[in-house]
Structure 1
Amino acid sequence: MASSSAGFVTGLTAAALATIGVLGYQASASAPADTGRARVSGTPAPGASKAPRDRRHPDALPAGSGRGERVVYSVDDDRVWLVGADNKVQRTFRVTPSTVDPAPGTYAITSRSKQVTGSDGIPVEHVVRFTSVEGVVIGFSAAVNGSTAKPDPDERTGGIRETRADGDAMWRFATIGQRVVVVP
């Protein structure tokens, strides 16, 4: 009986993995041709709609940013929202953008590092990565020295800088696989 149960569980695991693979393939097949490219101007990627903002409440969650637990990052507003499963904002904060922006779309956290040296040479902590653009890895991080200075515009960097407190919150919230929704 035990081998029958093990076979059943193995079969369910294989079926779940196959389903995930099919969904991943479908998602990648329907991605716009420019997904993952650096944003060259202040305009959204072709085909991306500008999420309506409540200008009286600039920290309000952008409409059209999805549902459920996720990280929402607005490239135009330089703001992040950590949204719980109940679709309520748990925390929102301003960030200092990198010189290379991800295209609007839905991503997932792919890797994390407790402490490393950033692409700009600054020691950073609580690094949460979710995509790359033309070889530049994009993710959220906090400088160990607490600085959030704008990066050198002549350098191609992917670190979206947070304060250390916001970096701690992101680290606790954004584990591997967590959705990241990038809006214009």
Structure 2
Amino acid sequence: MARSSSGIIVATLTAAALAAVGFLAVQAEAAPDHPTAHASGRAAGKAKDGEQGKDKAAGSAGQEQGKAPNAVPEDSGTGLRVVYGLAQKRVWLVGSDGKATRTFEIAPSTVNPPPGSYAVTSRTPTITGSDGTPVEHVVVFHRDAAGVVFGFSAAVDGSSPKPDPAKKTGAIREQPADGRAMWEFAVNKTPVVVVP
């Protein structure tokens, strides 16, 4: 009798241990650090984060219908071109595939070029800017009827201009690294599109 009750106890304990192991296996499968559950949870989290990112982008000032703030402006032409957004004070270097290879903020001078399509007309490696600052990588794309020259350049010392409102100048100042990128990208006759 003692042997049979001891066998029953052992059998009961074995069954309980197997049930506990089975329960723990089910719990482990559903745990967030389990590779399968974690991967699917991460994918779902990324999708949710992406939706939240779109919502944030849509709510940001100056953005339209969830567009990224640095997206190439619509109605700025097609193909390889430089796009200059007057209101955004930003330039996009756009490849032939229509995608920006680089975008950066600029510091405009006292006069803006009218929105429209232009082309690079001249390039000068170094010169003294209209504000008396030594500049490099000068890329000119327009001269208006009053003789104001519009072009991109970078101050050798990296400074931003402090335009004198009494002077009508069309210099568009870039940071040195952006000026180098513009210089390499915008060879003579490269289209330049100015948008509002």
Q: TM-score, normalised by structure 1?
A: 0.69
* CA-CA distance at 1:167 after TM superposition: 0.1
Q: What's the counterpart of residue 157 of structure 1?
A: 169
Structural RMSD (CA): 1.5
Q: Give CA deviations for 1:117-169 in whole Å, capped at 9, x if unaligned.
A: 11111110000000012211100000011101331222211110000000000
* Paired residues of 1:124 and 1:143 also in contact (CA < 8 A): yes
Q: Say if 1:176 and 1:53 are closer, same or farther in 2 by CA, change over 3 A.
A: farther
Cα 1:158–1:86 change in 2 (3 A) is: same
What is the aligned counterpart of 1:64 among 75, 84, 97? 75
Contact 1:54 1:60 in 2 (8 A): no
Name the residue aligned to 1:104.
115
* Alignment counterpart, residue 54 of structure 1, candidates 64, 67, 72: 64
The one-letter code matched in structure 1 to 2:155 is: A
1:78 corresponds to? 89
Match of 2:64, as an amino acid?
A: D
Q: Which runs of 5+ in 1 are unaligned?
A: 1-51
Identity %: 59
Q: Distance in 2 between matches of 1:53 and 1:74?
A: 13
Give the letter aligned to residue 67 of structure 1.
Answer: T
Kindly indicate whether residue 137 of structure 2 is the aligned counterpart of residue 116 of structure 1. Answer: no
Residue 143, structure 1, aligned to residue 143, structure 2: no
| 3-state SS, counterpart of residue 175 of structure 1 | coil
1:54 Cα deviation from its structure 2 partner: 3.0
1:54 counterpart letter in structure 2:
E
Q: Deviations over 1:47-76 (max 9, x none)?
A: xxxxx9537522111111111000000111
Write 1 or 2 for the structure with the bigger share of helix: 2
Give the Cα–Cα distance (whole angstroms) in 1 for the partners of residues 170 and 75 of structure 2: 25
Question: Which residue of structure 2 aligns with residue 178 of structure 1?
Answer: 190
Aligned residue type for 1:102: P
Give, as a single letter, the amino acid of the residue that structure 2 aligns with 1:145. D
Question: Radius of gyration: which is bigger?
Answer: 2
Bigger drift between 55-64 and 95-104 goes to 55-64
2:143 partner letter: S
TM-score of the superposed pair, with normalisation by structure 2: 0.65
Distance 1:120 1:161 in 2: 11
Q: Is 1:168 aligned to residue 180 of structure 2?
A: yes
Asked if residue 87 in structure 1 is aligned to residue 102 in structure 2, the reply is: no
> SS state of the match for residue 114, structure 2?
coil
SS in 1 for 2:183: helix
1:106–1:182: 8 Å Cα contact kept in structure 2? yes
- Tell me if the contact between 1:127 and 1:141 (Cα under 8 Å) persists in the aligned partners: yes
**Partner SS for 1:165:** helix
Contact 1:110 1:130 (C-alpha < 8 Å) held by counterparts: yes
